[in-house]
């Protein structure tokens, strides 16, 4: 991952509402959540939520799909994993055993695998 992309993704998460939205989408898993439900759950005005989701989407952290009249948003788990790996890949001054479990889980996508 290029450092510019990492900075863009971290910047997108560096605001309380956006971080809260992203964490909610991570908890929801690959099925995602309709935009209206996100707004109600987090008590965010729809126009504010739209701006937050657009920023997260442009950073590659969320995606959406249309189901009928609803937009369903979900986290981009591969992008999240790439960012975690980027942040952790050179950790611990050569003591990789400290960070290895996190890197392995992020690399394999275990966080979202219903069978794990």
Kindly report the pTM of this predicted structure: 0.81
Which pLDDT band holds residue 109 (cuts at 50, 70, 90)? low
Give the tens place of pLDDT for each residue, 48-100: 999 999 999 999 999 999 999 999 999 999 999 889 888 877 777 767 677 77
**How far apart are alpha carbons 7 and 57 in whole angstroms?**
14
pLDDT score for 115: 45
Residue 36: both structure tokens together: 């209206």
Q: Given a cut of 90, is residue 37 above it in pLDDT?
A: yes
**Surface-to-core class of residue 115, CB atoms within 10 Å of its CB (0-12 exposed, 13-18 middle, 19+ buried):** exposed
pLDDT score for 81: 86
Q: Which CATH number fits domain 3-76: 1.10.10.10, 1.20.1250.20, 3.40.50.1100, 1.20.1270.30?
A: 1.10.10.10
Q: Average pLDDT in the 97-112 region?
A: 65
Domain boundaries, the chain: 3-76, 78-112
Structural element, H or E, at residue 87: helix 77-88
**How far apart are alpha carbons 113 and 111 in whole angstroms?**
6
Which pLDDT band holds residue 114 (cuts at 50, 70, 90)? very low
pLDDT score for 116: 45
pLDDT score for 67: 94
Q: Average pLDDT in the 15-38 region?
A: 96
Q: Given a cut of 80, is residue 8 above it in pLDDT?
A: yes
Query: How far, rounded to the nearest angstrom, does the alpha carbon of residue 107 sit from its chain's CA centroid?
Result: 14
């Amino acid at each position: 991952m290029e450092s510019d992309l990492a900075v863009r993704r971290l910047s997108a998460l560096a605001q309380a509402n956006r971080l809260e939205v992203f964490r909610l989408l991570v908890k929801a898993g690959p099925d995602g959540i309709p935009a209206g439900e996100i707004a109600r759950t987090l008590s965010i005005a729809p126009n504010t939520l739209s701006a937050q989701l657009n920023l997260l989407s442009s950073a590659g952290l969320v995606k959406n799909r249309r189901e009928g009249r609803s937009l369903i948003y979900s986290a981009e788990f591969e992008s999240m994993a790439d960012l975690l790996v980027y942040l952790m890949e050179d950790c611990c001054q050569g003591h990789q055993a400290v960070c290895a479990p996190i890197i392995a889980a992020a690399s394999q996508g275990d966080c979202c695998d219903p069978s794990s």
